[in-house]
Amino acid sequence: MLAVCFSCAALAADPPRPEGGESLRAVLSVRADRRTGRLVRVTEFRTAAGKRVPAAQAVRPLVEHTARRHSVDPELVDAVIRAESGYNPAAVSAKGAAGLMQLMPATARQMGARDRFNPAENLEAGVRLLKELRERYGDDRLALAAYNAGEGAVQKYKGVPPYRETVEYVRRIEASYKPKRAGDAAAGGQARADEPEPVRGLLVETDAEGRVYLRTR
């Protein structure tokens, strides 16, 4: 396994600078997939003491910030990220999609993302695209289908394309998103007890040796 420090400057978007707090280090690992034997890149977040912090927990503040800035439900963005990359900023698909929201090169250029592996740029482009699709179709299912298969496919079939991958993609996100939305409504917006508290006040700092640290409250 090859492990290197993962440079992700601008990971945090205008967060407050914390007073003290714990630091996280983002490390990019290159390892062989147990099933396929192919080399895959995985980003891990660790405290100074070496304790792992789940990627979803470490990146969630940025997801919430970006989603709310574009008036998109953070829970929907969360569900899309889980389906697309499993919260791995270094993920690359067989088709060449990359990053948290699995942007293709042309889509990234269209939405203004220069570095698809930069979580902030990837999220900014992906959330903006998701918002545009929702506004265009006025329907989450069609927006998700277009995000996965392209607008041309949705237009051709006048609905969710009958592609196995797309049908399963939409089903997975709906199965994840709807219970969260219903749970939030029932709880009056309070965090559910079964979810870990997200890391707050994320701030990226780079030391003299180029190592990246994510500082939290």
C-beta atoms surrounding 1 within 10 Å:
8
Give the Cα separation of 94 and 146 in Å (integer): 19
Q: How many residues does the chain have?
A: 217
Give the Cα separation of 31 and 38 in Å (integer): 8
Active-site residue, 197 included: no
**Which of the following is catalytic: 44, 64, 75, 84?**
84
Q: Name the H helices within 17-163.
A: 55-69, 74-84, 105-110, 119-137, 140-149, 151-157
Are 169 and 148 a contacting pair, CB within 8 Å? Answer: yes
Scan for tokens 């969360």, then name that residue: 78
The set of residues, in sequence order, having a beta carbon less than 8 Å from that of 158 and lying 6+ positions away, is none
User: Would you name the residues annotated as active-site residues?
Assistant: 84
